[in-house]
C-alpha cells in the first residue's frame, strides 16, 4: 500500500493525470509508532491538499488510483478525501487495537519498534478514528506468511469489526445500505527464491476469512481484488512490489462499485461451484460463469508425504475444467504458489470484459 505513484508503471503520466482531480483532497499520515499509548493526534506529511506536482509522486499509488476511479464513476462531481496511512513491511498485528488479540487468543507478539503489537494502531490509526470515514482499502499480508498465518482469518475479521465500531459513525449505513465498506487486496507474487513457497496461497485464502470469496458471512460489507497474476520480475523494489497498480485499482474499484452502488460488476473472479471425480485421475471443476484458458500455470497438488507439484488442465468447456490428479494427492489448490504465473498468464480468467483471474481455492481430495 505504501508504494508511491513515482514507482509504478507510467509514473509520470499517472502523476500528471492526478492533477486533474481537483475534487480530491489528500492526507498522508507520517510514519510514527507508539508502543503503549493510543495517540490523540498524529503528524501529517500531506495535510488535506489538492493533488499537485509536489505531493502526488509521494502518495500511495493504489490509494490515489482507486480514488480516481471512484471519482470517475461519480462523474467527478463529488468531493473525495483520501487518507494514506501506510508503512511497508509490517504485520497485521501492528494495525489493530489490543482488543483483537484478546478476541483471537493470539500468541504473544515478539515484534519490535513499528512491528510491536498495536504500535501503528496507536500511532497512525487511533488518531484518525474521530473522523467519519466512508470506507477502507487494505493491502497487507506478505509479512504474515511466516508470522501467525493461521490467525490471519480471525485477525482480519476482528480488525474490520473493531475499526467499524471505533471510527466515528463507522456503523452508519451510507449508499446501498453499506456501512464501513472494507476492500482487501489479496497478496501478489513474491521474491525470487520463494517461488515454490505454498504458504503464500494459504495466506491468500485466509485473507478471505477462509471462504474464498468476498463479501461473505464473516466480512459481509467487504470487497476484493487479487494481485497474484501481476508478476513483475524486474520491479526495482523487488518482485514483491509489482508496479502495475492500475490493474489492482481497476479490479478493486469495480468490486467497490458493485458493493456500494449496486453496479453491474463481478465482486470476485470465476468461482468454483461444483467439483467431482470423473475418474480416479480426472477431477472436474465447474465455475459460476464462462471462463477462458490463458496459460498453463495455477493448479498444484499436495501429496501424502507433504510435497507439492504442479498439475495441469487436460480439457476445458465453457465453464469447467478437467484437472489431472495423481494417486497420492490429498489436496488440490489453485493460485497457491508464491509466484503463480508470468504477468497475466495464469490458467483461468473470466471470459468477459472484466478479464478477472479465477479465485484462489483449495479442494480436499480425501473427502
Residue 131 has pLDDT above 70, yes or no: yes
| Bridge partners (DSSP) listed for residue 297 | 346
pLDDT at 83: 98
Provide the pLDDT for residue 237.
Answer: 82
Residues of the chain with pLDDT > 70: what percent?
Answer: 99
**Mean pLDDT value of segment 260-270:** 96
- Angstrom CA distances, 326 to 3, 99, 107, 120, stand at 41, 45, 37, 46
Grade residue 196 by pLDDT with cuts at 50, 70 and 90. Answer: low
Average pLDDT taken over every residue of the chain: 96
Sorting pLDDT into bands at 50, 70 and 90, what band is 236?
A: confident
Helix axes 61-73, 245-261, angle to 10 degrees: 40
User: Residue 158, CB half-sphere, CA atoms under 13 Å: how many?
Assistant: 19
Collapse the DSSP code of 44 into the 3-class scheme (helix H, G, I; strand E, B; otherwise coil) and give the result: strand
Give residue 194's pLDDT band: very low, low, confident or very high (50, 70, 90).
Answer: low
> What pLDDT does 20 receive?
97
Say if pTM beats, i.e. exceeds, 0.85.
Answer: yes
What region, left, alpha or beta, does residue 180 occupy, with left being phi > 0 and alpha being psi -120 to 50 degrees? left
Q: Are 291 and 348 in contact (CB under 8 A)?
A: yes
List all residues 6 or more positions away from 150 whose beta carbon is below 8 Å from its beta carbon.
206
**pLDDT digits 0-9 by tens, 15-24:** 999 999 999 9
Q: Is 195 a residue whose pLDDT tops 70?
A: no
pLDDT reported for residue 129:
97
Contact 188, 227 (CB under 8 A): yes
Residue range 100-118, pLDDT digits in tens: 999 999 998 888 999 999 9
Q: What is the pLDDT of residues 71-95, one digit of tens each?
A: 999 999 999 999 999 999 999 999 9
Question: pLDDT tens digit string along 287-321?
Answer: 999 999 999 999 999 999 999 999 999 999 999 99
Tally helices (H) and strands (E) across the chain: 7, 16
pLDDT for 9: 97
- Segment 151-165 shows an average pLDDT of 98
| pLDDT over 90 at 165, yes or no | yes
Residue written as cell 470465476? 270
Q: How confident is the model at residue 35 (pLDDT cuts 50, 70, 90)?
A: very high
- Do residues 301 and 311 touch, judged by C-beta distance below 8 A? yes
Contact call for residues 244 and 233 (beta carbons, < 8 A): no
End-to-end distance of the chain based on CA atoms, in angstroms?
39
Cβ neighbours of residue 285 closer than 8 Å, sequence gap 6 or more = 272, 274, 275, 320, 321, 323, 363
Amino acid at each position: 500500500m505504501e508504494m508511491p505513484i513515482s514507482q509504478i508503471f507510467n509514473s509520470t503520466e499517472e502523476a500528471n493525470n492526478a492533477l486533474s482531480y481537483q475534487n480530491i483532497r489528500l492526507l498522508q499520515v507520517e510514519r510514527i509508532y507508539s508502543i503503549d499509548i493510543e495517540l490523540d493526534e498524529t503528524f501529517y506529511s500531506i495535510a488535506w491538499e489538492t493533488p499537485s506536482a509536489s505531493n502526488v509522486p509521494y502518495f500511495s499509488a493504489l490509494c490515489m488510483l482507486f480514488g480516481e476511479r471512484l471519482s470517475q464513476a461519480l462523474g467527478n462531481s463529488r468531493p473525495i478525501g483520501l487518507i494514506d496511512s501506510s508503512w511497508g513491511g509490517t504485520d497485521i498485528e501492528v494495525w489493530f487495537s489490543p482488543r483483537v488479540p484478546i478476541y483471537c487468543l493470539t500468541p504473544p507478539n515478539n515484534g519490535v519498534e513499528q512491528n510491536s503489537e498495536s504500535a501503528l494502531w496507536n500511532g497512525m490509526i487511533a488518531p484518525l478514528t474521530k473522523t467519519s470515514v466512508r470506507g477502507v482499502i487494505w493491502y497487507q499480508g506478505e509479512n504474515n506468511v511466516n508470522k501467525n498465518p493461521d490467525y490471519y482469518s480471525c485477525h482480519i475479521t476482528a480488525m474490520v469489526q473493531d475499526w467499524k465500531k471505533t471510527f466515528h459513525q463507522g456503523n452508519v449505513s451510507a449508499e446501498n445500505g453499506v456501512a464501513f465498506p472494507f476492500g482487501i487486496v489479496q497478496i501478489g507474487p513474491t521474491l525470487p527464491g520463494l517461488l515454490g513457497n505454498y504458504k503464500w496461497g494459504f495466506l491468500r485464502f485466509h485473507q478471505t476469512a477462509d471462504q474464498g470469496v468476498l463479501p461473505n458471512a464473516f466480512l459481509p460489507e467487504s470487497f476484493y481484488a487479487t494481485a497474484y497474476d501481476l508478476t513483475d520480475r524486474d520491479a526495482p523494489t523487488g518482485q514483491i512490489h509489482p508496479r502495475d497498480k492500475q490493474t489492482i485499482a481497476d479490479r478493486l474499484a469495480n468490486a467497490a462499485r458493485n458493493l456500494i452502488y449496486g453496479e453491474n460488476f463481478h465482486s470476485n473472479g470465476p468461482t468454483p461451484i461444483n467439483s467431482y471425480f470423473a475418474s480416479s485421475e480426472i477431477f472436474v471443476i465447474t465455475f459460476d460463469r464462462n471462463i477462458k484458458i490463458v496459460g498453463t500455470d495455477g493448479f498444484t497438488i499436495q501429496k501424502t508425504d507433504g510435497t507439492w507439484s504442479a498439475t495441469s488442465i487436460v480439457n476445458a468447456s465453457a465453464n469447467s475444467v478437467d484437472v489431472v490428479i495423481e494417486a497420492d494427492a490429498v489436496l488440490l489448490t489453485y493460485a497457491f504458489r508464491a509466484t503463480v504465473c508470468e504477468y497475466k498468464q495464469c490458467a483461468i480468467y473470466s471470459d468477459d470484459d472484466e478479464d478477472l483471474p479465477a479465485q484462489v481455492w483449495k479442494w480436499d481430495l480425501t473427502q
